[in-house]
């Protein structure tokens, strides 16, 4: 998709991240805090930089024609278990245009090419059909459904889907597309 690119999290993205992550619609469907703190984007950048330095996470700004419209990342990188967690959000004005799928594909390609991982996992609220569709289009398979037990912003009985994609599945999917 023309115009979508990933950039490592950087100070130049902070204003857009702050503006878009402050939208309650983002926090309602993601792990972004709601309400978003006044310095939330600065905190996000410090966390992203710390994870990158430690080798435990890679955080990207999702850009459209050079403008930041969201974030995605690979976190919890565990070289021993050869796995990590994928997460993403796109600002509401850009929903429904395939940007999350394209950004996700770029992040996953980076992960399988550059990181010591063979498996990527993701989770999302089962009431979020758009996110479920993104994961499906990226090739993830649901392996479990649980009730929320870890994020106090949602009810304890909130249904969460857990998804997995491995390197072999990713490569097979992309060799067929080529």
Tens digits of residue pLDDT in 30-89:
999 999 999 999 999 999 999 999 999 999 999 999 999 999 999 999 999 999 999 999
In the predicted model, what is the mean pLDDT of residues 104-126? 97
Tell if the pTM clears 0.85, that is, is over it.
yes
Nearest in space to 109 (alpha carbons), one of 173, 163, 45, 61:
173
Q: How high does pLDDT run on average in the chain?
A: 94
For helices 167-177 and 99-114, what crossing angle results, to 10°?
120
Q: Is the pLDDT of residue 137 over 70?
A: yes
pLDDT(139) > 90: yes
Q: Before 149, cis peptide (omega within 30)?
A: no
- Classified as helix, coil or strand, 100 is helix
CATH number of 4-177: 3.40.630.30
């Amino acid at each position: 998709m023309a115009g979508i690119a990933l950039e490592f999290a950087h100070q130049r993205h902070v204003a857009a991240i702050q503006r878009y992550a402050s939208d309650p619609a983002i926090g309602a469907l993601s792990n972004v805090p709601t309400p978003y703190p006044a310095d939330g984007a600065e905190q996000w950048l410090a966390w992203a930089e710390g994870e990158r330095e430690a080798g435990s996470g890679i955080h990207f700004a999702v850009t459209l024609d050079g403008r930041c419209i969201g974030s995605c990342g690979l976190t919890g990188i565990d070289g021993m278990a050869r796995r990590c967690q994928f997460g993403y959000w796109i600002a509401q004005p850009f929903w429904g245009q395939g940007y999350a799928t394209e950004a996700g594909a770029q992040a996953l390609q980076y992960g399988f090419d550059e990181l010591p991982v063979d498996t990527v996992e993701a989770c999302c609220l089962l009431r979020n059909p758009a996110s479920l569709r993104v994961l499906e289009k990226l090739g993830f398979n649901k392996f479990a459904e649980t009730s929320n037990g870890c994020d106090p912003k949602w009810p304890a009985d909130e249904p969460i889907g857990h998804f997995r994609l491995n390197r072999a599945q990713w490569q097979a999917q992309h060799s067929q597309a080529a």
